[in-house]
Structure 1
Amino acid sequence: MSHVVNLDLRSFADFTGHNEQLALVDFWAPWCGPCKALLPTLDELSSEFSGRVRFGKVNVDEHPGKAQEFQVRGIPALVLFRDGEPIANLVGSQSREFLRGWLNKALESQ
C-alpha cells in the first residue's frame, strides 16, 4: 500500500513542517515518464521508512508556484525537508538503492 500523500497548497506546509519526521516531496507531472517510473520505488520506500520519513508528491502542473518556490527546474525532483526547510534535493529518476542510502544518511545526520 502506498504511503505517498498527494499534496496541495493547503496541505504542503503541514506535511513538511514542524514534526519529528523528515518529509520527502516528489515534484512530478502525469505526462512525465521518469516520474511514473519512480513512483513504485517511492511507494516501496514509503513503507520501508514508515515512521521515520513522510512521503508526499506535488503535481507541478496543478501547483506551479510550489515548484517555483523550491526552484524545481526539472522533474522528477525530490526535495527533503526538516522542520519545514529544504535540506537536500535530487533531480531525475534514482535507483531504490541510491535513494535508500540518501535517506539513511539524512536520518543519521538528524
Structure 2
Amino acid sequence: MSKFGDIIGIEVPVLLDFFTEWNEPSLAMHPVLRDVAAALGDKGKVIKIDVDKNEELATALRIKGLPTLMIYKEGEMVWRQSGEQDANTLIGLMKEYV
C-alpha cells in the first residue's frame, strides 16, 4: 500500500480507474481515459488499476461496481463515482483540482 500512497500523494490531481479486463463498461472507458490523459498533459495523471491484480487495495477502498473512478489531490480523495463517464466530464472535474 505504500506504493499507493506515493501514487496519490503527488501535487497534480490523479484520476484512478479501477477496472477488470472482463468487464465491458471497464473496457469501454479505456479510450475515454486516453482522451482525458491527452487533454490534461502534465497537469494531471490518469492511472488504471486492475482490481483482479490488486484485490487488497480494491477491498480496502470498498470497490463494488466497475469501473470505479476516483480523483485524489495531494493524497486526499476529492471525488468518486462508479460507472462509465464521458471524457468532457472527467476533464472538467480534473481541471477543478489543477
How high is the TM-score relative to the length of structure 2? 0.89
- Paired residues, number: 98
Equivalent residue runs for 1:29-44 within 5 Å:
29-44=20-35
- Calculate percent identity across the aligned residue pairs: 26
Structure 1: which 4+ aligned runs deviate by more than 4 Å?
A: none
Q: Which residue of 2 aligns with 1:16?
A: 8
Separation (CA, whole Å) in 2 of partners of 1:106 and 1:92: 21
For residue 102 of structure 1, report the CA deviation from its aligned partner.
2.0
Give unpaired runs (5+ residues) of structure 1: 1-8
Letter in 2 for 1:91: S
For residue 54 of structure 1, report the CA deviation from its aligned partner.
0.8
How high is the TM-score relative to the length of structure 1? 0.80
**RCO greater where, 1 or 2, for CA within 8 Å and sep 6 or more?**
2
- Between Structure 1 and Structure 2, which shows a larger proportion of helix residues? 2
CA RMSD of aligned residues (A): 1.5
Q: Which residue of 2 aligns with 1:47?
A: 38
Contact 2:5-2:75 within 8 A present in 1 as well: yes
Give unpaired runs (5+ residues) of structure 2: none
